[in-house]
């Protein structure tokens, strides 16, 4: 009996140790980034404890840098990621509602064609998309940065799978209650799909926030619409040795993602596992 | 308050699949009309056509004084209660009830008045702040009913509203819906596959099969004069006994003998005249379980027309007893008798059929033959 107990608790301890180790490995880069970001200039990669005076001097320096307006980059990123994620979530929801609940000719075929585009690597689109954006005169604009990525097949797929599980009777019932098509969408489908919509919103936000290549392509280096990842890259080019500043800038870039994840974690986890088990 | 009139209504799906066809019905104002039949008989389809949830392929549908074929559901002035309640899970009970009124832009005080009134009628006032998830099946069904009555529609449509409830609650809600109908006096169309629900609730019953109407009648007529073998078998519990018999003449009398060889019943022509045309032919005879008596238990000394049977099993219900029997020819018969009439498997009994309550059906068309 006692042997059993000891073995059991030993098992638990080992498991916890493994988990802690995993967590440490995951957290270490973040810790290191923050550690370097608060160190004194020139001490970035030295194993010492010489900190900047005042402690957040590097952050202030980055935020108020004249040649690299990080606050501007930050706002650009926020605008692009938020509006992009919002539009994607909206259009995916509307499309998913139609694919999940409406009858029309070639519906399944069309859906499979859309799905099959997921197999094409994103890079393949870049040249034609760039050509279109140039033709439209959208270089160095928010439009050019956002619109090409608004149609998100994965989000459409995720939402359709979810919306198919919403009983038809609810829609019929709303129809008899007097709801128009838009009201059914707004009052029934959207609230009932909120966890999945949140997931799509978050994933798109994350994608847009960290999107480097496309924003580099549609912006000229002197553009005032540069986003953080592009800005950071240019910054690195110029301040390659000033690790403390670079890390402070990087730290800025993860703030919104961290806030969003912590705030919407509940929805997000729910969304990823939605429909996995029958309730 | 409105009549609902269906004229030659049909719903044909892709690939000529018949949803329902030749539906002619005149549902009177304030009537409680029940559509009943086995699954796939077209009863729900018919209801959805009336609701406007599906397009009518052929025919004309009238609600009140309007032809509503091309009018969307929300303008038909109807309310529907669904089998799975179809409550909006993200809204509180109050909002579920008020949803339709809000969409129709009723003033706030009118909404409040109506929701409160409906909640009072259905005794769900204490549940208004809850979400559907926190309600029991019966409570959910009440909310679904409430959502229908707040709108004060011309017609109520019920699509198997009780089939998700447990047996006891079903009986209770059955009565409540009837009371509600008596109070509100709104034309109601009720779909069910349960013949007991149909019999107990309907002012009139429409029996359907394979997309067609079989019979429209009030419950007792339906029970006493089923127009076909199907209706006879569908209505009544335990179901009617259907036995293959051969008809022949014996002088002034008719001889009804079990087709597989077994019992022989002899009746004078009076009341059995219709059998004249079938002399020498086979028919299907229907006898309801309660129209059979056990000669010895009933204390009848001697009887002319008895059917010897062997007991196979019994189902004592307390107040009554269903006895399963087998004739010499192998036909299976159920007899409904008093609870005190107990038997054992293997017992031999002599049955007497009530000659006035016999039904005869044509073996091919399965239509009723006798007039009465």
A200-258 pLDDT tens trace: 998 899 888 888 888 888 888 778 888 888 888 877 777 767 788 888 888 888 888 88
Residues of A with CB under 8 A from a CB of B: 167, 169-170, 172-179, 183, 187-188, 191-192
Tell me if B188 sits within 8 A of B195, measured CB to CB: no
Cβ count near A34 (within 10 Å):
14
User: Has residue B368 been placed in a domain?
Assistant: no
Cβ count near B40 (within 10 Å):
14
Read off the CATH number of the domain in which A243 is found.
1.10.3720.10
Q: Please count the structural domains in chain B.
A: 2
Contact B80/A at CB under 8 A: yes
Tell me if B208 sits within 8 A of B42, measured CB to CB: yes
Q: What is d(CA B240, CA B231) in angstroms, rounded to the nearest whole number? A: 10
Residues whose CB is less than 8 angstroms from the CB of residue A131 and which lie 6 or more positions away in sequence, other chains included: none
User: Has residue A48 been placed in a domain?
Assistant: no
Q: What is d(CA B145, CA B131) in angstroms, rounded to the nearest whole number? A: 16
Residues B202 and B250 in one domain: no
Distance from the first to the final alpha carbon of chain B: 36
* Most A-contacting residue of B52, B81, B90 (CB-CB within 10 A), to test interface: B90
Rounded alpha-carbon distances, angstroms, from residue A257 to A200, A204, A231, A260, A261? 14, 11, 17, 5, 6
Report residue B20's pLDDT band, with 50, 70 and 90 as the boundaries: very high
Residues B295 and B214 in one domain: no
B314-341 pLDDT tens trace: 999 999 999 999 998 889 999 999 999 8
A188/B88 CB distance under 8 A: yes
Closest residue in B to A193 (Cα) is B90
Nearest to B89 among A177, A187, A192 (CB): A192
Nearest to B51 among A174, A176, A179 (CB): A176
Task: Name the 3-class secondary structure at B284.
Answer: strand
**Predicted local distance difference test score (pLDDT) of residue B126:** 93
**Predicted local distance difference test score (pLDDT) of residue A276:** 44
Q: Which helix (H) or strand (E) holds A155?
A: helix A153-163
**Predicted local distance difference test score (pLDDT) of residue B96:** 94
Report residue A278's pLDDT band, with 50, 70 and 90 as the boundaries: very low
CA of B33 to nearest chain A CA: how many angstroms apart?
20
**Predicted local distance difference test score (pLDDT) of residue A240:** 67
Residues B214 and B259 in one domain: no
Q: What is d(CA A213, CA A221) in angstroms, rounded to the nearest whole number? A: 13
Peptide bond into A54 cis (omega under 30): yes
User: Has residue B236 been placed in a domain?
Assistant: no
Whether pLDDT at A40 is above 60: yes
Read off the CATH number of the domain in which B77 is found.
3.40.50.300
Looking at chain A, the whole-number percentage of residues with pLDDT higher than 70 is 94
Task: Count Cβ neighbours within 10 Å for each residue of B289-310 and write b for 16 or more, e otherwise.
Answer: bebbbbbeeeeeeeeeebbebe
Residues B136 and B60 in one domain: yes
* Most A-contacting residue of B14, B68, B89 (CB-CB within 10 A), to test interface: B89
Q: Chain B 46-75, CB below 8 Å of chain A: which residues?
A: 51-53, 72-74
Residues B144 and B215 in one domain: yes
User: Has residue A279 been placed in a domain?
Assistant: no
Task: Name the 3-class secondary structure at A19.
Answer: helix
A169/B86 CB distance under 8 A: yes
User: Has residue A53 been placed in a domain?
Assistant: no
Q: Which residues of A touch B154 (CB under 8 A)?
A: none
Q: In the structure encoding, which two tokens stand for residue B211, read together? A: 């997309």
Tell me if A140 sits within 8 A of A218, measured CB to CB: yes
A89-129 pLDDT tens trace: 999 999 999 999 999 999 999 999 999 988 988 888 889 99
CA of B72 to nearest chain A CA: how many angstroms apart?
9
Q: Chain B 137-156, CB below 8 Å of chain A: which residues?
A: 147, 151
Q: Which residues of B touch A191 (CB under 8 A)?
A: 90
Residues whose CB is less than 8 angstroms from the CB of residue B365 and which lie 6 or more positions away in sequence, other chains included: none
Cβ count near A67 (within 10 Å):
8
User: Has residue B219 been placed in a domain?
Assistant: yes
Whether pLDDT at A269 is above 70: no
Burial class of residue B98, CB neighbours in 10 A (0-12, 13-18, 19+): buried
Q: What is d(CA A6, CA A4) in angstroms, rounded to the nearest whole number? A: 6
Report residue B61's pLDDT band, with 50, 70 and 90 as the boundaries: very high
Read off the CATH number of the domain in which B281 is found.
2.40.50.140
Residues B283 and B186 in one domain: no
B72/A175 CB distance under 8 A: yes
Looking at chain A, the whole-number percentage of residues with pLDDT higher than 90 is 39
Range of the domain at B285: 241-361
Rounded alpha-carbon distances, angstroms, from residue B81 to A135, B63, B155, B313? 55, 18, 11, 41
Query: Does A276 or B53 have the greater pLDDT score?
Result: B53
Place of tokens 């009072």: B120
**Predicted local distance difference test score (pLDDT) of residue A277:** 43
Q: What is d(CA B306, CA B311) in angstroms, rounded to the nearest whole number? A: 15
Query: Does A275 or A36 have the greater pLDDT score?
Result: A36
Over residues B160-185, mean pLDDT = 90
Whether pLDDT at B80 is above 90: yes
**Predicted local distance difference test score (pLDDT) of residue A73:** 86
Residues B199 and B113 in one domain: yes
Q: Please count the structural domains in chain A.
A: 1
Report residue B93's pLDDT band, with 50, 70 and 90 as the boundaries: very high
Residues B272 and B184 in one domain: no
Over residues B125-152, mean pLDDT = 91
User: Has residue B221 been placed in a domain?
Assistant: yes
Residues B264 and B156 in one domain: no
A175/B53 CB distance under 8 A: yes
Q: Which residues of A touch B88 (CB under 8 A)?
A: 170, 173-174, 187-188
CA of A177 to nearest chain B CA: how many angstroms apart?
4
Residues B113 and B262 in one domain: no
**Predicted local distance difference test score (pLDDT) of residue A134:** 92
Over residues B268-289, mean pLDDT = 88
Closest residue in A to B79 (Cα) is A176
Contact B81/A at CB under 8 A: no
Contact B106/A at CB under 8 A: no
* A97 HSE (CA, 13 A, CB side): 20
Q: What is the 3-state secondary structure (H, E, C) of B37-71?
A: CCCCCCHHHHHHHHHCCCCCCEEEEEECCEECCCC
Q: Which helix (H) or strand (E) holds B248?
A: strand B241-250
CA angle B112, B117, B119 (to 5 degrees): 95
Query: Does B265 or A70 have the greater pLDDT score?
Result: B265
Residue B371 DSSP label = -
Size of interface A-B (CB pairs under 8 A): 54
B90/A173 CB distance under 8 A: no
**Predicted local distance difference test score (pLDDT) of residue B36:** 95
Nearest to B100 among A169, A170, A177 (CB): A177
Q: In the structure encoding, which two tokens stand for residue A246, read together? A: 């670079």
Helix ranges restricted to H, chain B: 43-51, 93-103, 108-121, 137-149, 167-184, 195-201, 219-224, 229-234, 295-298
Q: What is d(CA B173, CA B186) in angstroms, rounded to the nearest whole number? A: 17
User: Has residue B234 been placed in a domain?
Assistant: no
Q: Which residues of B touch A187 (CB under 8 A)?
A: 88, 99
Cβ count near A252 (within 10 Å):
20
Closest residue in A to B156 (Cα) is A176
B184-205 pLDDT tens trace: 999 999 999 999 999 999 999 9
Domain boundary among B176, B197, B229: B229
* Most B-contacting residue of A163, A178, A179, A270 (CB-CB within 10 A), to test interface: A178
Residue B269 DSSP label = S
Range of the domain at A102: 67-273
Whether pLDDT at B240 is above 60: yes
**Predicted local distance difference test score (pLDDT) of residue B115:** 95
Whether pLDDT at A279 is above 60: no
Whether pLDDT at A268 is above 60: yes
B82/A172 CB distance under 8 A: yes
- Any bridge partners for residue B60, and if so which? B7
A177/B72 CB distance under 8 A: no
A123-170 pLDDT tens trace: 888 899 999 999 999 988 899 999 988 889 999 999 999 999 999 999
**Predicted local distance difference test score (pLDDT) of residue A273:** 55
Q: What is d(CA B198, CA B237) in angstroms, rounded to the nearest whole number? A: 12
- Any bridge partners for residue B6, and if so which? B25, B61
Place of tokens 């004229």: B7
CA angle B333, B338, B343 (to 5 degrees): 60
Q: What is d(CA B99, CA B114) in angstroms, rounded to the nearest whole number? A: 12
Tell me if B159 sits within 8 A of B188, measured CB to CB: no
ipTM of the prediction:
0.81
Q: What is d(CA B225, CA B216) in angstroms, rounded to the nearest whole number? A: 11
User: Has residue B371 been placed in a domain?
Assistant: no
Place of tokens 């429209």: B216
Residues B115 and B195 in one domain: yes
Residues B65 and B119 in one domain: yes
Contact B272/A at CB under 8 A: no
CA of B114 to nearest chain A CA: how many angstroms apart?
15
Whether pLDDT at A275 is above 50: no
Burial class of residue A279, CB neighbours in 10 A (0-12, 13-18, 19+): exposed
Rounded alpha-carbon distances, angstroms, from residue B198 to B145, B190, B193, B207, B356? 18, 8, 8, 9, 25
């Amino acid at each position: 009996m006692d042997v059993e107990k000891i073995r059991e608790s030993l098992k638990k301890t080992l498991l916890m140790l493994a988990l802690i180790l995993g967590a440490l490995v995951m957290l270490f880069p973040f810790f290191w980034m923050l550690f370097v970001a608060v160190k004194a200039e020139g001490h970035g990669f030295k194993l010492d404890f010489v900190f900047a005076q005042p402690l957040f001097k590097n952050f202030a320096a980055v935020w108020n840098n004249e040649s690299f307006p990080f606050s501007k980059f930050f706002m650009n990123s926020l605008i692009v990621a938020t509006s992009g994620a919002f539009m994607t979530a909206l259009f995916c929801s509307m499309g998913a509602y139609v694919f999940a609940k409406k009858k029309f000719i070639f519906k399944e075929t069309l859906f499979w064609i859309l799905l099959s585009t997921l197999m094409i690597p994103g890079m393949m689109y870049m040249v034609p998309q760039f050509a279109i954006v140039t033709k439209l005169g959208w270089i160095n604009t928010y439009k050019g940065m956002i619109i090409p990525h608004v149609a998100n097949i994965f989000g459409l797929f995720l939402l359709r799978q979810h919306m198919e599980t919403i009983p038809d009777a609810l829609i019929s019932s709303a129809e008899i209650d007097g709801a128009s098509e838009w009201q059914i969408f707004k009052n029934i489908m959207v609230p009932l799909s909120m966890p999945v919509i949140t997931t799509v919103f978050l994933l798109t936000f994350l994608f847009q926030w960290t999107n480097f290549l496309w924003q580099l392509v549609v912006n000229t280096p002197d553009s005032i619409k540069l986003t953080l990842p592009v800005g950071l890259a240019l910054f690195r080019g110029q301040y390659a040795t000033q690790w403390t500043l670079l890390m402070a800038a990087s730290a800025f870039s993860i703030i919104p993602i961290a806030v969003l994840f912590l705030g919407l974690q509940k929805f997000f986890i729910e969304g990823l596992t939605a429909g996995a088990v029958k309730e | 308050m409105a009549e609902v009139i269906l004229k030659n209504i049909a719903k044909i799906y892709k690939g000529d699949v018949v949803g329902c066809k030749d539906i002619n019905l005149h549902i009177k104002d304030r009537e409680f009309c029940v559509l009943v039949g086995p699954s796939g008989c077209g009863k729900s389809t018919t209801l959805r056509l009336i609701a406007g949830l599906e397009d009518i392929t052929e025919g004309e549908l009238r609600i009140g004084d309007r032809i509503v074929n091309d009018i969307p559901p929300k303008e038909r002035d109807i309310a529907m209660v669904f089998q799975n309640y179809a409550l909006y899970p993200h809204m509180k009970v109050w909002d579920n009830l008020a949803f339709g009124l809000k969409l129709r832009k009723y003033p706030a005080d009118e909404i409040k008045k109506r929701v409160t009134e409906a909640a009072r009628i259905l005794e769900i006032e204490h549940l208004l702040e809850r979400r559907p998830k926190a309600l029991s099946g019966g409570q959910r069904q009440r909310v679904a009913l409430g959502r229908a009555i707040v709108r004060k529609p011309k017609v109520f449509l019920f699509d198997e509203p009780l089939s998700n409830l447990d047996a006891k609650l079903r009986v209770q809600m059955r009565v409540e819906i009837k009371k509600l109908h008596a109070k509100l006096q709104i034309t109601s169309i009720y779909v069910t596959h349960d013949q007991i629900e149909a019999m107990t609730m309907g002012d009139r019953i429409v029996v359907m099969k394979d997309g067609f109407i079989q019979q429209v009648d009030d419950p007792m007529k339906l029970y006493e004069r089923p127009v076909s073998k199907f209706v006879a078998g569908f209505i009544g519990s335990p179901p009617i006994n259907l036995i293959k018999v051969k008809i022949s003449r014996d002088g002034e009398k008719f001889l009804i003998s079990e087709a597989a060889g077994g019992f022989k019943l002899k009746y004078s022509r009076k009341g059995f005249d219709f059998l004249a045309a079938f002399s020498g032919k086979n028919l299907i005879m229907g006898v309801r379980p309660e129209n059979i008596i056990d000669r010895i238990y009933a204390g009848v000394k001697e009887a002319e027309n008895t059917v010897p049977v062997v007991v196979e099993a019994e189902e004592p219900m307390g107040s009554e007893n269903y006895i399963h029997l087998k004739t010499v020819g192998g036909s299976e018969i159920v007899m409904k008798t008093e609870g005190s009439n107990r038997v054992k498997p293997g017992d031999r009994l002599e049955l007497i059929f009530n000659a006035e309550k016999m039904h005869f059906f044509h073996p091919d068309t399965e239509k009723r033959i006798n007039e009465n």
